[in-house]
Amino acid sequence: MSPQKRVKNSQTPKRTSRHSNSYQSNLLAWKLKENLSNSKSISKHGQNSTVEDSEHADADELARDALQIAMRYFDKGPFNTPWNKDKTLEKHLKTVENVAWKNGLAPEGIDILLNVALSGKFGSAVNSQILRCMIPATLISEDSVVKAVSWLCAGKCCGSTKILFYRWLVAMFDFIDRKEKINLLYGFFFASLQDDALGMQPYLHALLSLYKFFVPTLISISLPIKKKIYFKNSENLWKTALVAVRQRNQGLSPEPLKLMLGPANVRPGKRKWNSHSLIPVLSSSSHSKEYGKEGMSLSDYLCSNTPFPVEQLKSFLQLLQNIHCLELPSQMGAVLNNSLLLHYINCVRDESVLLRLYHWLNQTLQEECIWYKVNNYECGKEFTSFLDTIIKAECFLQEGFYSCEAFLYKSLPLWDGFCCRTQFLQLVSWIPFTSFSEVKPFIFDCLAQLFFTSTIYFKCSVLENLKELLQNWLLWLSMDIHMKNVMDNSLETTLSGSMKSVFELIHYVGWLSTNALRLESNSTFLLHFVLDFYEKVCDIYINYNLPLVVLFPPGIFYLALLSVDSSILNQLCYIMHRYRNNLTAAKKNELVLKIKSEFIFSSKTYQEYNHYLTAMVGCLWTSKPFQKGSYFDPEVFKKIGVAKYKTSLNLVHHPALLSYAISFLLKEWTEERTVNLSSIRGKKWNGYLDYLFSEGLQGLKHFIQSSICHSSVP
Backbone angles phi, psi at 308, to 5 degrees: -95, 115
Backbone angles phi, psi at 105, to 5 degrees: -110, 150
The interface with another protein within residues 498-537 (CB under 8 A) comprises: 498, 501
How far apart (Å, rounded) are the C-alpha atoms in residues 247 and 241? 10
The interface with another protein within residues 82-111 (CB under 8 A) comprises: none
Nearer to another protein, 205 or 701 (CB): 205
Nearer to another protein, 366 or 471 (CB): 366
For the CB of residue 396, give the shortest distance to another protein in the complex, in Å.
19
Q: In this structure, which amino acid lies at residue 251?
A: G
The answer to whether residues 336 and 390 touch, using CB atoms and an 8 Å cutoff, is yes
347 binds another protein (CB under 8 A): no
Q: How many CA atoms lie within 13 A of 11 on its CB side?
A: 10
Q: How many CA atoms lie within 13 A of 320 on its CB side?
A: 3
User: DSSP of 583-636, one letter per residue?
Assistant: HHHHHHHTTT-SS--TTTSSHHHHHHHHHHHHHHHIIIIIS--S-TT-SS-HHH
CA distances (Å), 582 to each of 543, 588, 601, in order? 9, 10, 12
The answer to whether residues 610 and 674 touch, using CB atoms and an 8 Å cutoff, is no
For the CB of residue 680, give the shortest distance to another protein in the complex, in Å.
54
**Please, what's the b/e burial string for 557-569 (b: 16 or more CB within 10 A of its CB; e: otherwise)?**
bbbbbbbeebbbb
How far apart (Å, rounded) are the C-alpha atoms in residues 631 and 702? 25
For the CB of residue 16, give the shortest distance to another protein in the complex, in Å.
14
332 binds another protein (CB under 8 A): yes
Query: Coil, strand, or helix at residue 308?
Result: strand
For the CB of residue 433, give the shortest distance to another protein in the complex, in Å.
7
Stretch of 92-100, 233-241, 564-572, 664-672 lying at the interface with another protein (CB under 8 A): 233-241
Stretch of 109-117, 185-193, 495-503, 684-692 lying at the interface with another protein (CB under 8 A): 495-503
How far apart (Å, rounded) are the C-alpha atoms in residues 334 and 337? 6
Nearer to another protein, 288 or 648 (CB): 288
228 binds another protein (CB under 8 A): yes
For the CB of residue 263, give the shortest distance to another protein in the complex, in Å.
6
The answer to whether residues 203 and 167 touch, using CB atoms and an 8 Å cutoff, is yes
231 binds another protein (CB under 8 A): yes
Annotate each residue in 7-26 with x if it binds another protein (CB under 8 A) or - if it does not, as one string. Answer: -x------------------
Angle at 540 between CA 538 and CA 541, to 5 degrees: 105
How far apart (Å, rounded) are the C-alpha atoms in residues 690 and 702? 12
The interface with another protein within residues 420-459 (CB under 8 A) comprises: 433-435, 438-439, 441-442
Annotate each residue in 241-280 with x if it binds another protein (CB under 8 A) or - if it does not, as one string. Answer: -x--------------x-xxxxx--x--xx--xx-----x
Taking CB under 8 A as the criterion, the residue among 79, 101, 301, 358 binding another protein is 358
Cβ count within 10 A of residue 244: 16
Cβ count within 10 A of residue 472: 20
For the CB of residue 251, give the shortest distance to another protein in the complex, in Å.
20
Stretch of 185-193, 230-238, 417-425, 454-462 lying at the interface with another protein (CB under 8 A): 230-238
For the CB of residue 118, give the shortest distance to another protein in the complex, in Å.
21
Instruction: Please tell me the count of residues contacting another protein according to CB under 8 A.
Output: 72
Nearer to another protein, 240 or 423 (CB): 240
477 binds another protein (CB under 8 A): yes
Closest residue by Cα to residue 372 from 411, 346, 399 = 411
Taking CB under 8 A as the criterion, the residue among 171, 335, 474, 548 binding another protein is 171
For the CB of residue 358, give the shortest distance to another protein in the complex, in Å.
6
405 binds another protein (CB under 8 A): yes
DSSP state of 304: S
Taking CB under 8 A as the criterion, the residue among 41, 88, 236, 648 binding another protein is 236
224 binds another protein (CB under 8 A): no
Taking CB under 8 A as the criterion, the residue among 95, 364, 513, 563 binding another protein is 364
414 binds another protein (CB under 8 A): yes
229 binds another protein (CB under 8 A): yes
How far apart (Å, rounded) are the C-alpha atoms in residues 100 and 103? 6
For the CB of residue 240, give the shortest distance to another protein in the complex, in Å.
12
Nearer to another protein, 262 or 641 (CB): 262
For the CB of residue 259, give the shortest distance to another protein in the complex, in Å.
4
Taking CB under 8 A as the criterion, the residue among 34, 174, 382, 598 binding another protein is 174
Taking CB under 8 A as the criterion, the residue among 79, 83, 101, 173 binding another protein is 173
Query: Coil, strand, or helix at residue 288?
Result: coil
Stretch of 166-174, 298-306, 416-424, 504-512 lying at the interface with another protein (CB under 8 A): 166-174
Annotate each residue in 369-388 with x if it binds another protein (CB under 8 A) or - if it does not, as one string. Answer: ---x-x--------------
545 binds another protein (CB under 8 A): no
355 binds another protein (CB under 8 A): yes
Taking CB under 8 A as the criterion, the residue among 356, 459, 577, 654 binding another protein is 356
How far apart (Å, rounded) are the C-alpha atoms in residues 100 and 527? 74
How far apart (Å, rounded) are the C-alpha atoms in residues 441 and 447? 10
293 binds another protein (CB under 8 A): no
Q: Where on the phi/psi map is residue 625: left (φ > 0), alpha (ψ -120 to 50), or beta?
A: beta
Closest residue by Cα to residue 626 from 646, 653, 597 = 646
The answer to whether residues 595 and 686 touch, using CB atoms and an 8 Å cutoff, is no
